């Protein structure tokens, strides 16, 4: 059987990752990354070896640099792109055409950090490799079946008609975690995806029934530089009393809030854990953990209980002190941590007498992008 060669493309606001898969292989043939896009100095990583390079003005320039390092690009069969938001129309992967591009252009205002560079990358690849079909795989698709009580906001019908609802994000991470756990996934699970962006998702039988992110990725948990939940009156107050523009508020909510705004040091949890003796840093970490633990409690209502807590994302997978503090605040529910397993970043970190299994899952969005692109191809 000839393997299906799929290039999985994952665009961040200032990063780009290419994973080359030969399916049904169990690992990528190549992983190429570019970071610092748009900044004065970029980093390119190939095969785990990172090197500094000149500045990349945009994602198209970074893409050219990575394609030059890609083994045998002419032998690609399909390309799959992670697209953060699919809006109300796109509830499953689709092949990209002019109509899809126009629809996604219209959604750019909802996720200005991610959709424009993703579209730039898609269009650049369509010009560079025009013979290869490209698929869009949506982060929101995993949450497309949310029940109305979880997806709707208490807003007028005119707003709802304009697509104002909870969509949820980090769907590829959720899908990959569910796939990896397989029969080890319990009936009622809360997945905490903790990284630069953070969300919690209630999984009932592996399906999303509630989640913390909403119309945009700003809602929900405290994040690296994003605020998470806010009283909406704060925004109108700042506009009215301090004459802040929409652009100023949008920039601040996305780039100057969260852990960075609280600590006044950094939005990176690794940096904060190294400086935890500073009072503002310690408070930022405490608030981060408190909000995450509170989300587990709230989503347990949606599930009618909680049999499992799943940690994913850069913080969730690699920060034992954060996991410990979150679980400590859930001990009244009978949840208990195995401290040795937690310190070792083991796959199972719950105590044998814990009422809920606690897992650490190292997700691979590239694998999920490739898998969903291959599924779309098989459907025709």
Residues with a known catalytic role: 139
Alpha helices per DSSP H over the chain: 59-67, 98-107, 115-128, 148-151, 157-161, 171-181, 233-242, 246-255, 258-263, 269-274, 279-303, 313-318, 320-328, 339-343, 365-379
Residues 6+ apart with CB under 8 A from 248: none
How far apart CA 219 and CA 203 sit, in angstroms, is: 19
- Asked if the peptide bond before residue 24 counts as cis, ω within 30 degrees of 0, the response is yes
How far apart CA 86 and CA 372 sit, in angstroms, is: 15
How far apart CA 48 and CA 55 sit, in angstroms, is: 20
- The SS3 of residue 134 is strand
How far apart CA 324 and CA 302 sit, in angstroms, is: 24
Taking Cα atoms as reference points, which of 6, 139, 122 lies closest to residue 63? 122
Residues 6+ apart with CB under 8 A from 119: 101, 104, 105, 108
Backbone angles phi, psi at 350, to 5 degrees: -85, 150
Name residue 7's beta-bridge partners. 20, 79
Taking Cα atoms as reference points, which of 37, 92, 59, 17 lies closest to residue 7? 17
What value, to the nearest 5°, has the Cα angle with vertex 179 and ends 269 and 6? 90
Are 22 and 3 contacting, i.e. CB atoms less than 8 angstroms apart? yes
- First vs last C-alpha separation in the chain: 19
């Amino acid at each position: 059987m000839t393997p299906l060669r799929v290039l999985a493309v994952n665009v961040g606001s200032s990063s780009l990752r290419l994973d080359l898969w030969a399916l049904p292989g169990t690992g990528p043939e190549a992983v190429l990354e570019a970071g610092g896009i748009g900044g004065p100095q970029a980093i390119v990583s190939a095969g785990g070896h990172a090197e500094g390079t000149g500045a990349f003005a945009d994602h198209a320039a970074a893409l050219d640099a990575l394609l030059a390092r890609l083994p045998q690009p002419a032998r690609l069969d399909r390309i799959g792109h992670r697209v953060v938001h699919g809006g109300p129309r796109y509830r499953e992967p689709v092949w990209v055409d002019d109509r899809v591009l126009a629809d996604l252009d219209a959604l750019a205002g909802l996720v200005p950090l991610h959709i424009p560079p993703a579209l730039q990358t898609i269009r650049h690849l369509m010009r560079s490799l025009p013979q290869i079909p490209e698929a869009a795989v949506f982060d929101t698709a995993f949450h497309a079946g949310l029940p109305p009580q979880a997806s709707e906001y208490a807003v007028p019908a005119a707003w709802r008609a304009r697509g104002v609802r909870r969509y949820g994000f980090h769907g590829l991470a959720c899908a990959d975690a569910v796939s990896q756990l397989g029969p080890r996934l319990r009936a009622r699970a809360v997945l905490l995806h903790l990284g630069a962006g953070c969300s919690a998702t209630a999984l009932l039988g592996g399906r999303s029934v509630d989640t913390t992110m909403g119309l945009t990725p700003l809602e929900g948990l405290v994040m690296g530089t994003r605020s998470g939940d806010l009283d909406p009156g704060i925004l109108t107050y700042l506009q009215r009393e301090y004459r802040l523009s929409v652009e100023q508020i949008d920039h601040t909510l996305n780039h100057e809030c969260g852990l960075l705004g609280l600590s006044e040091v950094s939005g990176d949890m690794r940096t904060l854990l190294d400086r935890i003796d500073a009072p503002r840093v310690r408070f930022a970490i405490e608030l981060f953990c408190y909000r995450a633990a509170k989300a587990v409690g709230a989503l347990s209502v949606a599930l009618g209980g909680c049999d499992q807590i799943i940690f994913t994302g850069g913080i969730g997978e690699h920060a034992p002190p954060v996991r410990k503090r979150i679980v400590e605040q859930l001990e009244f529910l009978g949840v208990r941590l195995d401290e040795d397993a937690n310190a070792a970043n083991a796959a199972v970190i719950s105590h044998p007498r814990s009422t809920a299994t606690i897992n650490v899952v190292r997700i691979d969005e590239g694998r999920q992008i490739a898998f969903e692109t291959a599924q779309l191809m098989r459907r025709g």
